[in-house]
């Protein structure tokens, strides 16, 4: 039996109280969480050190302005955190961070992870005109009932990895019948138990309700299949790829917001990928015309090859694409098929090696033959 | 490109366009390819799925008929396309690049910054009615192409991007050849040469530059004045909205650091931006210290600093093309803000970005007698 803490407050309030207590009793030096940062309701990840600043925090806000895994990597890139910091992150953000740590782009040391069963987030576009704010009641209603909220990002609608693997504590949000009055925090690790010591609330011995979550998962599975089938129908050979990616403007925003794409200089922005006049000339001997700049699909496929094995399906790429290409669904679909070959779930366990850097002699003999 | 300062009589020809202006422009390009004046043409084409337009370097003349001289959107700024083809050398092909005036101006800026080699490239611009916002266009490409074409007929900019609506350089001639459709009689357009290179093209095509462009100039003057007025008003309103540090921080509060603006910007040519470099990556104690001073910091911090930094780096060359705003996933009016600052800073140096290839970028041109008032302020 896992230990759990029942707090007689809503999840949003409960997590803030939890975080305040951590700061106040000196268990952490800082808190990393979503916070309202402007009068017009912009929400951004913030590093908070003073308890009263938590009044504007909205840790479970249904929005992912940036994948937090990317930000935690930036925070710990030059060495692990000098003091304990509590980070409230979504399951996919935590998984992304674990993948980055495997790539030596961050450190887990001194970080305390608070996550939740995640109901998904809205498209970033909806935060611009205040629609997210207006939808909050609807959102929490759906989460309470264990349903998929309408208007979520497609990456979230079809996400079946909504439970964190390695969080120290997990707030159970999905299917929580009484979310306005109480919430339950599962204390998954020793650290989690220790951090929860002395908190207001009732300590229980309890397990996450698998049945409830499995029911939710099956709803997500249905959505996922729909999304994958749609892409399947379109991604038909080279022509299909040209149709899907033809409107790509080459901004590489997908790569820039991708938590896994950590390269300082992408191969596809390097001199190696640059066309010389002679390349254009020789291409034009073979074809009547060349798209300029070239390499639109080459870039997408290249990135797919580079990060597919670690793609956590967070959907950040969709959010940022100025021409609405369903990048995340394509990457998630291809990513999963590669991950399955190696029985690998990105971000499940920091000690699990990335398949592509692990040599196993007895592997894929069928391909050799 | 040696520039003639005077674009009046004797530099233009009236071309008959009975088959339609677009078709006649394509015909002009085709003839030029037939005669070997150009080996290839860089021009927007509709992508196979029909939901966008992309620059294509065409060598096969039969493809020219699908060229779209005035595409309804700016998916990639043309200067980036020219730079992709010529940055590493002028190449062996003689290329005609058919682009909008702001794309030509950006190309000229990139040339000054060593990012294009224009020796074998002829820049051809057209009077520009603006382009549709990318996000609007994508809702229904087919319908929006029609709407755009109708708006072009009426020269109505109400549906164009905000930064296009206040563009007072939409007929500015900076390249080698300009195609003027404004003020032209029915079924004709003006072809205006603006350089020796342009003159040579005309000679080879037996186009005699003998016609007056008075009616074009008059119409352009009208439109430019109108747009300029609107520009002054809109930018004044914008300034009152974003002026002061608090407003500025609020304006950029939605920025998610994707740097799409920078990637779409034709002027931001750096391979690795300072704001993506190691210089902006700090140890955790630095972040925590900063957070402790203020109680809380946004993470990543320095979002507005990136915007200000980029502005410092490129606003002298900003051509107000609007590519940044189209690419911003958070609908921040980046192009309007940058355009406003560009006006002011370029005005300080009596500089207009991309106006003339021979005009050096002010920051690389030292003048002893300049900006004394700034020096005095520190005495």
**Do residue B298 and residue A37 have CB atoms under 8 angstroms apart?**
yes
Pairing label, strands A183-187, A3-7: antiparallel
| B68-72, B319-323, B364-368: least confident range | B364-368
Distance of alpha carbon B310 from alpha carbon B308, whole angstroms: 5
Residue B13 above 60 pLDDT?
yes
% of chain B residues with pLDDT over 70: 96
Instruction: Give mean pLDDT, residues A76-93.
Output: 97
**pLDDT score at B212:** 93
Distance of alpha carbon B165 from alpha carbon B224, whole angstroms: 11
When comparing pLDDT for A322 and A361, which is higher?
A322
Query: In 10 A of CB B197, how many CB atoms?
Result: 19
B251 shares its domain with B192: no
**Do residue B258 and residue A274 have CB atoms under 8 angstroms apart?**
no
Residue B378's pLDDT band (boundaries 50, 70, 90)? low
- Look over chain B and give the mean of its residue pLDDT values, rounded to a whole number: 94
B207 shares its domain with B326: no
Asked if B118 and B85 count as a contact pair (C-beta separation under 8 A), the reply is: no
Distance of alpha carbon A265 from alpha carbon B49, whole angstroms: 31
Reference A2, options A146, A185, A129, A161; nearest CA is A185
Reference B309, options B333, B284, B338, B281; nearest CA is B338
% of chain B residues with pLDDT over 90: 92
Query: How many inter-chain contacts (A to B, CB under 8 Å) are there?
Result: 221
Distance of alpha carbon B296 from alpha carbon A48, whole angstroms: 4
B206 shares its domain with B269: no
**pLDDT score at B252:** 94
pLDDT for A124-149, tens place per residue? 999 988 899 999 999 999 999 999 99
Walk across the sheet containing B121-126 and list its strands. Answer: A289-292, B53-58, B40-46, B95-99, B121-126, B177-180, B188-193, B12-16
**Do residue B81 and residue A75 have CB atoms under 8 angstroms apart?**
no
B101 within domain boundaries: yes
pLDDT for A331-359, tens place per residue? 999 999 999 999 999 999 999 999 988 88
Residue B26 above 50 pLDDT?
yes
B3 within domain boundaries: no
Domain final position from B186, B213, B232: B232
Provide the b/e sequence for A198-224 (b: ≥16 CB within 10 Å): ebebeeeebebbeebbeebbeebeebb
Gap from A148 CA to chain B (nearest CA, Å): 24
Asked if A206 and A1 count as a contact pair (C-beta separation under 8 A), the reply is: yes
B158 shares its domain with B86: yes
B298 shares its domain with B212: no
**Do residue A124 and residue B330 have CB atoms under 8 angstroms apart?**
yes
B104 shares its domain with B158: yes
Distance of alpha carbon B147 from alpha carbon B244, whole angstroms: 39
**pLDDT score at B113:** 95
**pLDDT score at B111:** 97
Residue B376's pLDDT band (boundaries 50, 70, 90)? low
B49 shares its domain with B101: yes
B211 shares its domain with B288: no
Domain final position from B232, B247, B278: B232
| 3 state SS of A150 | coil
Give burial (CB, 10 Å; 0-12/13-18/19+) of A100. Answer: buried
| Site from A258, A262, A288, A317 to mutate, B interface, most B CB atoms within 10 angstroms | A288
Residue A365's pLDDT band (boundaries 50, 70, 90)? confident
Which chain A residues are closer than 8 Å to B249 by Cβ?
A: 38
Asked if B250 and A38 count as a contact pair (C-beta separation under 8 A), the reply is: yes
* Adjacent-strand bridge partners of B177: B124, B193
* Adjacent-strand bridge partners of A113: A87
Which chain A residues are closer than 8 Å to B327 by Cβ?
A: 249, 251, 253, 322
**Do residue B93 and residue A277 have CB atoms under 8 angstroms apart?**
yes
Instruction: Give mean pLDDT, residues B326-335.
Output: 96
In this prediction the pTM is: 0.94
B336 lies in which domain range? 234-377
Residue A176 above 90 pLDDT?
no
Instruction: Give mean pLDDT, residues A65-89.
Output: 97
Distance of alpha carbon A192 from alpha carbon A197, whole angstroms: 9
Domain final position from B198, B232, B266: B232
pLDDT for B190-232, tens place per residue? 999 999 999 999 999 999 999 999 999 999 999 999 999 999 9
Residue B268 above 60 pLDDT?
yes
User: Cis peptide leading into B300, omega within 30 of 0?
Assistant: yes
Asked if B122 and B370 count as a contact pair (C-beta separation under 8 A), the reply is: no
Query: In 10 A of CB A93, how many CB atoms?
Result: 29
B209 shares its domain with B288: no
Residue B7's pLDDT band (boundaries 50, 70, 90)? very low
B5 within domain boundaries: no
B252 within domain boundaries: yes
Asked if A83 and B288 count as a contact pair (C-beta separation under 8 A), the reply is: yes
Walk across the sheet containing A3-7 and list its strands. Answer: A202-205, A3-7, A183-187, A169-171, A111-116, A85-88, A30-36, A43-48, B296-298
Give burial (CB, 10 Å; 0-12/13-18/19+) of B345. Answer: middle
Distance of alpha carbon A85 from alpha carbon A47, whole angstroms: 9
Residue A368's pLDDT band (boundaries 50, 70, 90)? confident
Instruction: Tell me, yes or no, if A299 comes closer than 8 A to chain B by beta carbon.
Output: no
**Do residue B288 and residue A71 have CB atoms under 8 angstroms apart?**
no
Q: Residue A64's closest chain B neighbor by CA? A: B256
Which chain B residues are closer than 8 Å to A265 by Cβ?
A: 271-272
B6 within domain boundaries: no
Instruction: Give mean pLDDT, residues A273-299.
Output: 96
pLDDT for A230-249, tens place per residue? 999 998 889 999 999 999 99
Instruction: Give chain B's domain count.
Output: 2
Which chain B residues are closer than 8 Å to A240 by Cβ?
A: none
Enter the DSSP assignment of A295. Answer: -
Query: In 10 A of CB A305, how many CB atoms?
Result: 12
DSSP E strand stretches across chain B: 12-16, 40-46, 53-58, 95-99, 121-126, 177-180, 188-193, 296-298
B106 shares its domain with B190: yes
B363 within domain boundaries: yes
The set of residues, in sequence order, having a beta carbon less than 8 Å from that of A37 and lying 6+ positions away, is A43, A44, A46, A56, B253, B298
B186 shares its domain with B256: no
Reference A90, options A320, A316, A257; nearest CA is A316
B4 within domain boundaries: no
Q: Tell me, what's the ipTM?
A: 0.94
**Do residue B256 and residue A37 have CB atoms under 8 angstroms apart?**
no
Residue A114's pLDDT band (boundaries 50, 70, 90)? very high
Reference B179, options B355, B10, B9, B21; nearest CA is B21
| 3 state SS of A30 | strand
| Site from A291, A298, A324 to mutate, B interface, most B CB atoms within 10 angstroms | A291
Distance of alpha carbon B192 from alpha carbon B172, whole angstroms: 12
**Do residue A249 and residue B90 have CB atoms under 8 angstroms apart?**
no
B2 within domain boundaries: no
B240 shares its domain with B126: no
| Site from A255, A259, A292 to mutate, B interface, most B CB atoms within 10 angstroms | A292
């Amino acid at each position: 039996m896992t230990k759990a803490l029942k707090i007689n407050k809503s999840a949003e309030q409960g997590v803030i109280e939890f975080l305040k207590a951590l700061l106040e009793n000196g268990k952490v030096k800082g808190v990393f969480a979503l916070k309202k940062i402007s009068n017009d309701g912009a929400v951004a990840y913030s590093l908070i050190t003073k308890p009263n600043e938590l009044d504007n925090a909205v840790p479970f806000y249904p929005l992912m302005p940036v994948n937090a895994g990317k930000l935690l990597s930036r925070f710990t890139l030059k060495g692990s955190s000098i003091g304990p910091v509590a980070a409230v992150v979504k399951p996919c953000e935590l998984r992304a961070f674990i993948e980055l740590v495997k790539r030596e782009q961050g450190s887990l040391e001194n970080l305390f992870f608070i996550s939740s069963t995640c109901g998904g987030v809205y498209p970033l576009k909806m935060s611009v005109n205040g629609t997210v704010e207006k939808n909050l009641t609807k959102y929490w209603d759906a989460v309470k009932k264990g349903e998929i909220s309408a208007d979520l990002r497609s990456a979230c609608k079809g996400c079946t990895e909504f439970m964190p693997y390695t969080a120290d504590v997990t707030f159970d949000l999905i299917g929580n019948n009484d979310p306005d009055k109480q919430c339950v925090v599962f204390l998954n690790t020793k650290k989690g138990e220790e951090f929860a010591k002395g908190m207001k609330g009732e300590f229980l011995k309890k397990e996450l309700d698998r049945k409830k979550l499995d029911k939710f998962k099956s709803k997500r599975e249905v959505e996922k299949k729909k999304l994958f089938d749609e892409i399947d129908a379109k991604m038909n050979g080279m022509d299909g790829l040209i149709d899907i990616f033809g409107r790509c403007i080459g901004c590489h925003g997908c790569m820039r917001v991708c938590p896994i794409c950590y390269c300082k200089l992408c191969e596809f922005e390097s001199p190696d990928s640059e066309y010389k006049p002679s390349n254009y000339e020789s291409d034009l001997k073979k074809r009547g015309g060349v798209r300029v700049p070239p390499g639109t699909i080459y870039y997408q496929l290249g990135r797919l090859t580079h990060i597919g094995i670690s793609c956590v399906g967070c959907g950040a790429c969709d959010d940022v694409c100025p021409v609405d290409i369903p990048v995340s669904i394509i990457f998630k679909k291809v990513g999963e098929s590669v991950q399955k070959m190696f029985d690998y779930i990105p971000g499940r366990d920091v000690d699990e090696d990335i398949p592509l850097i692990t040599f196993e002699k007895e592997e894929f003999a069928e391909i050799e033959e | 490109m040696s520039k003639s300062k005077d674009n009046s009589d004797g530099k233009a020809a009236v071309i008959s366009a009975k088959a339609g202006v677009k078709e006649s422009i394509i015909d002009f390009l085709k003839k030029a390819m037939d005669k070997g004046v150009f080996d290839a043409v860089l021009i927007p084409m509709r992508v196979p799925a029909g939901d966008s337009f992309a620059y294509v370097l065409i060598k096969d003349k039969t493809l020219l008929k699908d060229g779209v001289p005035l595409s309804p959107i700016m998916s990639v700024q043309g200067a980036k396309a020219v730079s992709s083809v010529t940055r590493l050398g002028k190449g062996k092909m003689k290329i005609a690049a058919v682009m909008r005036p702001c794309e030509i101006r950006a190309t000229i800026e990139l040339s000054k910054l060593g990012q294009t080699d224009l020796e074998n490239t002829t820049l051809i611009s057209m009077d520009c009615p603006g382009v549709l916002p990318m996000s609007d266009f994508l809702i229904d490409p087919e319908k929006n192409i029609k709407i755009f074409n109708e708006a072009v007929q009426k020269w109505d900019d109400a549906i164009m991007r905000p930064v296009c609506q206040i563009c007072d350089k939409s007929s500015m001639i900076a390249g080698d050849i300009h195609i003027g459709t404004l003020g032209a009689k029915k079924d004709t357009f003006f072809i205006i040469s603006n350089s020796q290179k342009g003159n040579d093209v005309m000679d080879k095509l037996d186009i005699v530059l003998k016609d007056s462009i008075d009616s074009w100039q008059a119409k352009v003057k009208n439109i430019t004045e109108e747009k300029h007025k609107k520009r002054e008003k809109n930018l004044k309103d914008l300034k009152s909205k974003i002026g002061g540090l608090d407003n500025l921080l609020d304006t950029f509060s939605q920025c998610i650091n994707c740097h799409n603006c920078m990637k779409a910007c034709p002027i931001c040519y750096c391979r690795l931006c300072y704001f993506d470099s190691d210089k902006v990556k700090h140890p955790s104690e630095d972040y925590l210290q900063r957070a402790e001073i203020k109680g809380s910091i946004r993470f990543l911090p320095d979002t507005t600093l990136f915007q200000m930094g980029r502005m410092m780096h490129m606003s002298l060359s900003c051509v107000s093309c609007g590519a940044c705003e189209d690419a911003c996933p958070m609908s921040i009016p980046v192009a309007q803000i940058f355009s406003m600052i560009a006006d002011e800073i370029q005005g300080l140096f009596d500089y207009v970005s991309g106006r003339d290839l021979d005009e050096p970028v002010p920051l690389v041109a030292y003048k002893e007698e300049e900006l004394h008032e700034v020096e005095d302020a520190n005495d």
